[in-house]
């Protein structure tokens, strides 16, 4: 077991897959000799060369389209968005090409592409650099979405995503890159469609993902001291949802709290709540509570930014009210 930071775990996973499969390549802004904005590809250009670490112009629509074309020819591209908000410029390529070409070609093409990079609400990065794109991409047919939250699952999920035949949007949170954790020295992969039971409990099911997992765990320390026993699940797979794991928990606790950084309107929480009501309504003893970010562009002001995002004290209050 070695203790490493989350961005180092991503680097390890990517390095192992590039060494294992010569078809894997990375493209994006400053991913080559600069080593990536968050140093996920540091040293790769010297190791793998300029054809597998492709520094691109500032043209997200162009290089994302190029990566999709590369995937159609049998390569396995990993696109790094310097900031996930910039990938809105490539929405057409991601939605109309990456998500649909396997279907519209009658199965003649597969699109094994991973689109990854930093997103979420950072520390005063401003509205355009604080996007939560999961709400944008969840309704696009043909796309798979995964959100990592720890160094351990970041490495295992990224390796599995690169090996997958599906187009995958891989969400990393900008404030988690320096999170450290011990991970195994030996190679491992993780299932892309499986939620993670973070903490077993019996009083209430808390469903969360990405950075909010850590806000929830911070709140849980206080809740346990107050006598509550919450069950915490990191849903990990934002699309498709692992309803099997979620259902097993709800059938035990009969109460659900969803905690997300996504926007309240049309966010992951809204889809999750709809799926639970449709499939598990009879097991609920209380209305589902969903704690989401405010439906406003993220302010640059630090205090205002903090007010738009769910904080641990709000999670504590919600659990106390529901239980």
**Residue 16 has which token pair?**
């192992």
- Strands (E) in 162-275, as ranges, are 168-173, 180-183, 196-199, 204-208, 230-234, 237-239, 256-263
DSSP letter assigned to residue 125: -
DSSP conformational letter for 79:
E
User: Which residues, at least 6 apart from 33, have a Cβ–Cβ distance to it below 8 Å?
Assistant: 45, 55
Name the token pair of 237. 């797979």
Residues recognised as catalytic: 60, 129
CA torsion sign for 35, 160, 165, 169 is: negative
Interacting residues of 148 by C-beta distance below 8 A, sequence separation 6+:
6, 10, 154, 157, 158, 170, 171, 172, 176, 210, 236
Say how far apart CA 32 and CA 14 lie, in whole Å. Answer: 14
Tokens, residue 190? 């993780």
Residues comprising the chain, all counted: 323
C-alpha 294: how far from chain center: 20
Cβ partners under 8 Å of residue 2, min gap 6: 182, 183, 185
Q: Report how far residue 48's alpha carbon sits from residue 146's, in angstroms, rounded to the nearest whole number.
A: 27
Closest C-alpha to 234, from 222, 252, 250, 216: 216
Q: Measured between alpha carbons, how far is 220 from 312 in angstroms, rounded to an integer?
A: 9
């Amino acid at each position: 077991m070695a203790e490493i930071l989350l961005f180092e775990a991503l680097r390890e996973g990517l390095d192992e897959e590039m060494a294992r499969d010569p078809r894997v390549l990375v493209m994006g802004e400053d991913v080559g000799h600069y080593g990536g904005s968050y140093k996920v590809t540091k040293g790769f250009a010297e190791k793998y060369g300029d054809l597998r670490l492709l520094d691109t112009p500032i043209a997200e629509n162009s290089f994302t389209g190029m990566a999709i074309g590369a995937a159609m020819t049998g390569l396995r591209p990993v696109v790094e968005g310097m900031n996930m908000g910039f990938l809105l410029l490539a929405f057409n390529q991601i939605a109309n090409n990456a998500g649909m070409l396997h279907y519209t070609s009658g199965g003649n093409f597969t699109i094994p592409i991973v689109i990854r990079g930093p997103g979420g609400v950072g520390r005063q990065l401003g509205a355009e650099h604080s996007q939560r794109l999961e709400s944008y991409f969840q309704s696009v047919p043909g796309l798979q979405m995964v959100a990592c939250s720890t160094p351990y699952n970041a490495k295992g999920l990224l390796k599995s995503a690169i090996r997958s035949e599906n187009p995958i949007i891989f969400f990393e949170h900008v404030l988690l890159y320096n999170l450290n954790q011990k991970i195994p020295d030996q190679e491992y992969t993780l299932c892309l469609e499986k939620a993670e039971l973070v903490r077993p409990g019996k009083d209430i099911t808390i469903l969360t993902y990405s950075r909010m997992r850590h806000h929830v765990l911070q709140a849980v320390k206080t809740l346990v001291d107050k006598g509550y026993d919450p069950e915490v699940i990191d849903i990990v797979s934002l699309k498709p949802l692992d309803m099997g794991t979620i259902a097993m928990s709800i059938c035990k606790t009969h109460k659900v709290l969803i905690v997300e950084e996504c926007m309240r309107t049309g966010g992951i929480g809204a889809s999750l709540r709809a799926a639970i009501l449709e499939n598990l309504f009879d097991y609920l003893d209380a209305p589902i509570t969903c704690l989401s970010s405010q439906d406003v562009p993220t302010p640059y002001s630090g205090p205002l930014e903090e007010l738009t995002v769910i904080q641990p004290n709000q999670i504590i209050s919600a659990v106390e009210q529901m239980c």
